[in-house]
Amino acid sequence: MKINTGDNKKAFFFYLVLVDFIIAMQIAAVSFLQVKSSDFFFSFVISFLVFLAFSEIFESSRKIKSIMRPGMIFMILGSLINFFLSDASFFALGRAISGLGAGMVMASQIGMIWHDNSERMKNFSLFFLFSFISGLIFSPALVSFLSGPALGEMKVVFVLGVVIPISVVLEFSQTAGEFFERVGRFLLKEKKRLGIWGVGHTINWTIDFFFNFVLYPFVIWKLGVFSGGIVMIFLSFLICYAIIIFYDWAKKDWLGIETIKEVKEYNGKSIIGKFTSWIMKKSDPVLLVFLSVKFDPFITTTYMRHGAHQYSGMSKRDWKIFISSLVIGNAYWTIVAFAGVAIIEFIGKHLF
C-alpha cells in the first residue's frame, strides 16, 4: 500500500505502532477504569472480524486506506465523546464507536501485511505484535503514571486515544503542512460558496432574531396567547413560504442546506459517507420535531424534501412537512414567548 515515501513513511509506521499500543491500552482499560464497560472490547472484536472477513481489503491494497482512515476517525470521535461527556449512556456510545474504529484499524493492518510480503513488512508485523502485547501489559502503569489530580486515569486514556490517531490521519496526507495546504486550497476554491453561506446565514439569523425575540413576544403581549399565536402562525406562513419561493427561483444554496443533503443522499463507496447517510435518513418524525423547534418551517421543509440542488417547488409531501413544522414551531415559540412575557410582567409588578 503506497501511503508515503522516505522519512514520512517511517513516521507513518511509527505512529501506527503507537496506535496499536493505544488500542491494547483501551482494551486493558476495562480492568482499571472507574466505569466498568466492555463496550470497547466487544465492538472491537466484532468490527475486526467483520472487516477482516467481509471487507475487500484482501482484494486490493487501495481498499486498505478506505478502511484505515475511517477507523482512525471513529477512534478519535469515540474518545472525544468520552472525554467531554461523562454521562453513562454517552460513555457506552463513545466506547462502542472507538472500539469500532480500533477493529477497522487492526483489520486494515492485517491487510497491509498480506499485500506486502517484503522484509520491511515482516519487521512491521513483529513491531505490531510487540506493541499490542506491550499495551496490554504495561499501559495500566503508564496511565497511572500520567494521571494526576487535574487529569484522571480515564481522561488520560481518552486523550491518548485522540492524539495518536490524529497523528496517523495527518501522516495519510504525508505531512501536517500538506494537510493545511489542502485546507487553504479548498478555501480558495470554495470562497464564493463560503461567501454566499456567510451572507445567507447572517441575513437568516437577523430575520429569525427579530421574528422570534422581538416580534413574537410583542404580539403575544398585546394580543394574548390564542389570538397572538394565530397571528404569528399566519405571519410565519407568509414569510417562510415567500423565502421558499425566492430560494427556488434564485437556485442558490445560500445556507448550505443542499450541500448537507448531498451527504444525506450519498451513494458512493466511502464507509463514513454511507454510515452518515444512513444516520441522516433515519427517523423523519423525530427530525421534523427537532428542526421545527430549532429552526423555521423554511429550513425544515427545504432540508427534508427529497433530492439535493433540485429547487423544484413544493410537492404534496413537502406541504405536509411545511404545515406540520409551522404548527410545531409556532406552538413552541408561543409557549416560550408567553412564559417570557409572564416572567417579565411578574418581575415588573413585584420589584418595581
Confidence label for 322 from pLDDT (cuts 50, 70 and 90)? very high
pLDDT digits (tens, 9 = 90+) for 183-198: 566 666 667 777 777 7
CA atoms within 13 Å, Cβ hemisphere of 14 = 9
d(CA 18, CA 263): 32
* Residue 240 CB partners (closer than 8 Å, separation 6+): 296, 297, 298, 301, 322, 326
- Any residues with CB less than 8 A from the CB of 178 and at least 6 apart, and which? none
Q: Which residue segments constitute the domains of the chain, with CATH numbers given?
A: 6-187 (1.20.1250.20), 191-351 (no CATH)
Average pLDDT of every residue of the chain: 77
Give the whole-angstrom CA distance, residue 33 versus residue 94.
14
Of the candidate ranges 197-206, 240-249, 280-289, the one whose mean pLDDT is the lowest: 280-289
Residue-level pLDDT at 132: 86
Residue 142 has phi, psi (to 5 degrees) of -65, -45
Q: How many CB atoms lie within 10 A of CB 98?
A: 31
Q: Would you state the cell numbers that stand for residue 285, as one nine-digit string? A: 418524525
pTM for the model: 0.48
Taking the C-alpha atoms of residue 150 and residue 80, their distance in angstroms, rounded to an integer, is: 17
Would you say residue 7 has pLDDT above 80? Answer: no
How far is the C-alpha of 307 from the C-alpha of 270, rounded, in Å? 20
What pLDDT band is residue 6 in, cutting at 50, 70 and 90? very low
Q: Which amino acid is at 292?
A: S
Determine the Cα–Cα distance for residues 328 and 288; give it in Å rounded to an integer.
9
Gyration radius of the chain over CA positions: 26
How would residue 51 be classed by pLDDT, with cut points 50, 70 and 90?
confident
Count CA atoms within 13 Å of residue 300 on its CB side: 30
Residue 321 contacts residue 288 (beta carbons within 8 Å): yes
Q: How far apart are CA 131 and CA 352, in angstroms?
A: 70
Q: What was the pLDDT predicted at 144?
A: 79
pLDDT at 323: 92
Q: What is the pLDDT of residue 4?
A: 43
Most confident of 58-62, 274-278, 280-284, 336-340: 336-340
Lowest model confidence (mean pLDDT) among 23-32, 109-118, 328-337: 109-118
| Averaged pLDDT for residues 216-234 | 89
Residue 287, phi then psi, degrees to nearest 5 = -65, -40
pLDDT band at 313 (very low <50, low <70, confident <90, very high): confident
pLDDT on residue 336: 86
Own/partner pairs, 77-81, CB within 8 angstroms, 24+ separation? 77/101, 78/40, 78/161, 79/157, 79/158, 79/159, 79/161, 79/162, 80/158, 80/162
Task: Name the percent of the chain lying above pLDDT 70.
Answer: 72
The whole-number pLDDT of residue 282 equals 60
* CB count in 10 Å sphere of residue 128: 21
The number of residues in the chain equals 352
Q: What pLDDT shows up at residue 40?
A: 77
Stronger pLDDT, 36 or 151, i.e. the higher one? 151
Q: Quick check: helix, strand or coil at residue 152?
A: coil
Confidence (pLDDT) at 19: 86
pLDDT at position 2, please? 42
Q: What is the pLDDT of residues 59-102, one digit of tens each?
A: 666 667 677 888 888 888 888 888 887 666 677 788 888 888 88
Cα–Cα distance measured from residue 106 to residue 71, given in angstroms and rounded to the nearest whole number: 9
Q: Which amino acid is at 60?
A: S
